[in-house]
Amino acid sequence: MEDCLFCNIVAGKVPSKKVYEDEYVYAFLDIAPQAPFHAVVIPKRHIASADEINAENSIEVARVFEAIAKIARQEHLENGYRVVNNCGEDGGQTVQHMHFHLLARRNLAWPPG
């Protein structure tokens, strides 16, 4: 996906501050952090949104959550964290490559509003 920002980040064509990487997953610091720790965790394989998850590609979601648990240990997020997926227009999704926000190091309000 040549015109996808997050595919270009995975490819190294757009610079990012890497937090974690394995064969399937890439995580980097959000450019506009909403918490003292705010990473964006994505499957390297392009999936446009959570609404596109199906039986053929849902393994990517499992890989993302395995990575999140590793990042939490790596970053010492023992106090907890929040994982957020914005999906579609009303969900506030602005980049059309499925991603999970990993927010931590402050007390996060609930409900989020």
Active site residues: 99
With CB under 5 to 8 Å by kind, the binding choice for 95 among ligand 5GP, Zn ion, none is ligand 5GP
Q: Considering the complex, state which of residue 5 and residue 61 has its C-beta at the smaller distance from ligand 5GP.
A: 5
Q: How many residues does the chain have?
A: 113
CB of 26 to ligand 5GP, least distance (A): 11
Q: 24-63 mask for ligand 5GP (x: CB under 6 A)?
A: ----xxxxx-------x-----------------------
- The answer to whether the beta carbons of residues 41 and 68 sit under 8 Å apart is yes
- Give residue 111's Cα distance to chain centre: 20
As a whole number of Å, the end-to-end CA separation of the chain is 33
Quote the CA–CA distance of 91 and 33 in Å, as a whole number: 18
**Interface residues with ligand 5GP (CB under 6 A)?**
5, 14, 16, 28-32, 40, 86, 92-95
